[in-house]
Amino acid sequence: MTLPPRVTDRAFARLAEICELTGDNKALRVAVEGGGCSGFQYDIRLDDPSSDDLVLEKDGQKVLIDSVSLPFLQNAVIDFTEELIGARFVIENPNASSSCGCGTSFSM
């Protein structure tokens, strides 16, 4: 069964912190682009909504996924992790057949 991506509470909380720090209430855009070391790569950035976006919202925070990227992100989980190497938004994508060590590139 295909489901839209899910955003964890931790990711929404971090987005709220970023918006508070920057004073700019932008949404988090998660997109898939061609390229990277495995064929596709994630583009995660702050952005404004477009008319064709899927908007996932909680507590006033928004995560945007454009219609082209959506099929690549079915059933994925968008999370935020803090590790020794740094803190970042991560995508747990069951559609990816392989990914590379950087965590931003994958293949299907």
Q: Which fold has domain 6-102?
A: Hypothetical Protein Aq_1857; Chain: A; (2.60.300)
Terminal C-alpha separation, the chain: 18
pLDDT digits (tens, 9 = 90+) for 9-26: 999 999 999 999 999 999
* DSSP 3-state of 105: strand
pLDDT at 103: 54
Low-confidence ranges of the chain (pLDDT < 50): none
For the chain, domain boundaries: 6-102
pLDDT at 41: 86
- Pairwise CA distance, residues 43 & 41, whole Å: 7
